[in-house]
Chains A and B, each alone.
Chain A
Amino acid sequence: MSSFLLQTILNGILAGCIYSLFAMGLTLIYGVLNFVNFAHGELIMWGAYFLYFLMQRPLNLPLPFALLPALFLTVLLGLGSDRLIFKPLRKANRLTLLITSLGLSFLLRNGAQLFWGAEIRTYGLEIKKGMKFLGMSITSNQVAIMVVSILCIFLLYLFFYKSRMGKSMRAISDDLELARVMGIPSDRTIQWTWVIASSLAGLGGVLLALDTNLHPGMGLINLVKAFAATLLGGVGNLWGALFGGMVIGLAENISIWILSPGYKDAIAFGIMVVMLLSRSSAVFSSKE
């Protein structure tokens, strides 16, 4: 029985790592640009599909060589969407931006469906049996997910605490009041924000697809979890996003033992509602 529990916790941590990567990108965009990017899920999905594209005919690149170009393309997509769509709306209110990103999400998701169809796809790597460890099974892909997530968090830490750009970004992101006083951040800051958020999304998408499969709807499903993680951790707060992602990943998986698994997806929303009721987060408007 305890090995079941351990395995459940491991599954939760794995899911949590991926949610965290998504949530950190989402919260960063929110912190710096002050809007909720609905299309973040589509960056995740396109990241995975870019890798798929590079690994298929005619290019047939092996995975290690295809990874960086795929991330690069995802970053281009992120920067492109900012340049073409969000930049002209810099002064618009948040709700305009929210609807715009909802439209962009629709556009990108169906774009992927147009090219690759609605069916599920796989990178076609060989399936391996997991290693036994304390009664749990863990595959090398899953180890990679955890290592990459920890590495990303470490790199982000360095960036945000050691570089000047990172420090100013963090200052804007952590303190929404300050951000408002300072007005619109510089183009360079914004571009870096997109670069980081898109790479996190692309990387998360690739890891998710390596562990599971590719599907045009894969971004949207997980984005909702990332929203909840963001709310849970406090909006704009990077470490909060990490924490929120982990909590949701664990809670979801543990819930399967308690509730009907049909409600697995409702857990994230349930947590969100509890957060709203408990008033302990930074998301309340009070007198804004």
Chain B
Amino acid sequence: MDLFLHLCIMSLIYIIFALSLNLEVGYTGLFNFGHVAFFGIGAYTSALLTLHHFPFEISLLMALFLSGVSGFLLSLPSLRLRGDFFGIATLGFGEIIRMAFQNEVWLTKGPMGLPGIPKPKLLSIRFATLPQYLLLTLGFATLTFLILRGIIRSPFGRVLKGIREDEIAAEALGKNVYRFRIKSFVVGSIFAGLAGVLWGHYTTFISPNDFTIIETVLVLLIVVLGGKGTEWGPILGAILLIFFQESLRFLRLPPEYSRYLAPLQQMIFGSLLILMMRFRPEGLIKERREHGCLS
């Protein structure tokens, strides 16, 4: 039962993470390959502050704030790049952030990681046990879902989609494409930070190894598999992938073969990405295209 709760919590954290990426990838057409950086900034900020006995509410807000600010600072130069080079620039940013976690030992304890991150206490309720933590993540995930849906359905969201479809037309209609993209990127970064906060306080131990490019690929796969640019796609993708990964544990393979299992699983992920792009680039859930959305 606990394992099931654990997987639910993991899925919910990845749902938040994937929803935030979906705003960028799905609705704005920004292929961010360094999304894990904001996940990491969120996790580290909140972990460090609570370890220094700041209350969780303040740590959380600071974490979201810092994720947003770093998202803003990164977006200023990188959003001037064309799509694929934007991807590479963000990839580089993700790696630099990971290296900073690893090397700025005075702050992050470097590769030793941060053990003993306290369980969160929000509005004087402590979320320590698994069911309690599940409630907390469920609450935040619902909140994330509602806020992001609100944004997407608002006129602002429609402009984002318009830019994704036809940048030139959007510009011709007097929209400042650059600014809209920055806003979308900042919002995405903030929610990625939120996912990071929840992850750090859940495992109670974080180290730079948690924030590698593999995480980015996983969350990208979640969005693309589930259906980018849809409200429910990332949720479906996260649940499918997290449970699929762990279901392999129940295959009860002889341990000699599990050496082959992990690369095989990654190979399946790789093939899935290729096949999805080839045969169903829109993902499991298909986006309904609205016409004339640049009202």
A and B, direct touch (CB closer than 8 Å): yes
**A contacts, CB < 8 Å to B:** 35-36, 85, 88-89, 92, 94-100, 102-111, 113-114, 117, 224, 227-228, 231, 235, 260, 262-263, 265-266, 268-270, 272-273, 276-277, 279, 283-285, 287-288
Residues of A within 8 A of B83 (CB): 94-95
* B259 with A36: CB separation less than 8 A: no
A276's partner among B29, B80, B87, B269 (CB-CB below 8 A) is B80
* B118 within 8 Å of A (CB atoms): no
User: Of all chain A residues, which has the CB nearest B29?
Assistant: A95
Q: Which residues of B contact A92 (CB under 8 A)?
A: 277, 281
Check A107–B89 contact: CB distance below 8 A.
Answer: no
- When C-beta atoms are compared, the residue in chain B nearest to A98 turns out to be B84
Which B residues are within 8 Å of any A CB, using their own CB? 29, 31, 77-78, 80-85, 87-89, 91-93, 95-96, 99, 102-103, 167-168, 171, 217, 220, 224, 259-260, 262-264, 266-267, 269-274, 277-278, 281
Q: Give chain A residues whose Cβ lies under 8 Å from the Cβ of B96.
A: 266, 269-270
Q: A285 to B87, Cβ gap below 8 A? A: no
Q: A31 → chain B, closest Cβ, in Å?
A: 13
A277 touches B77 (CB 8 A): yes
**What would 12 A/B residue contacts be, using CB atoms closer than 8 Å?**
A36-B85, A92-B277, A95-B83, A99-B224, A107-B270, A107-B274, A110-B262, A110-B266, A273-B93, A276-B81, A287-B168, A288-B82
A108's nearest neighbour on chain B, judged by CB, is B270
- Inter-subunit contact A100/B271 (CB<8 Å): no
Measured between alpha carbons, how far is A108 from B269 in the docked complex, in Å? 11
Contact A284 B278 (CB under 8 A): no
Q: Considering the chains assembled together, what is the distance between the CA atoms of A236 and B108 in angstroms?
A: 40
- Chain B residues closer than 8 Å to A36, beta-carbon distance: 84-85, 87-88
Complex contact A106–B80 (CB within 8 A):
no
Interface centre among A100, A105, A228 (most CB of B within 10 A): A100
Q: Is A103 a contact of B272 with CB atoms below 8 Å?
A: yes
Question: Does B99 contact A266, Cβ atoms closer than 8 Å?
Answer: yes
B274 and A103 form a contact (CB under 8 A): yes
**Chain A interface, >50% SS class:** helix
A224 touches B267 (CB 8 A): no
Chain B residues with Cβ below 8 Å from A89 are 277-278
Closest to A100 in B: B277
Q: How far is the CB of A264 from chain B (nearest CB, A)?
A: 9
Closest 8 pairs (CB-CB, A-B): A103-B273, A106-B270, A107-B270, A269-B92, A110-B263, A110-B266, A262-B103, A103-B274
**Contact: A283 with B274, CB < 8 Å?**
no
Give the complex CA separation of A266 and B102 in angstroms. Answer: 12
Partner of A110, one of B80, B267, B277, B281: B267
- Most chain A CB neighbours (cut-off 10 Å) among B217, B267, B271: B267
Q: How far is the CA of A272 from the CA of B88 in the complex (A)?
A: 10
Knowing A99-B224, A114-B263, A231-B88 are in contact, say whether A269-B80 is a contact too (CB < 8 A). no
Contact A100 B81 (CB under 8 A): no
Please tell me which one of the listed residues B82, B260, B281 contacts residue A283 in the complex, with CB atoms under 8 A apart. Answer: B82
A95 and B82 contact, Cβ closer than 8 Å, known pairs A100-B277, A228-B92:
no
A56 nearest CB across to chain B (Å) = 19
B92 and A102 contact, CB distance less than 8 A:
no
Question: A102 touching B217 by the CB < 8 A rule?
Answer: yes
Which chain A residues lie closer than 8 Å to B224 at the CB level? 99
Determine whether the beta carbon of A95 is less than 8 Å from that of B84: yes
Distance in angstroms between the alpha carbons of A95 and B273 in the assembled complex:
12
In the complex, how many angstroms separate the beta carbon of A106 from the nearest chain B beta carbon?
A: 3
Interchain CB contact (< 8 A) of B273 among A106, A235, A276, A285: A106
Q: Which residues of A contact B89 (CB under 8 A)?
A: 272-273, 276
Asked if B278 contacts A104 (CB within 8 A), the reply is: no
Q: Known interface pairs A110-B264, A114-B267, A285-B80. Does A85 touch B88 (Cβ–Cβ under 8 Å)?
A: no
Measured between beta carbons, the chain A residues less than 8 angstroms from B270 are 103-108, 110
Assess A106 versus B269: contact at CB under 8 Å? Given A36-B87, A99-B220. yes
**CB-CB under 8 A for A285 and B82, given A88-B278, A98-B87, A263-B103:** yes
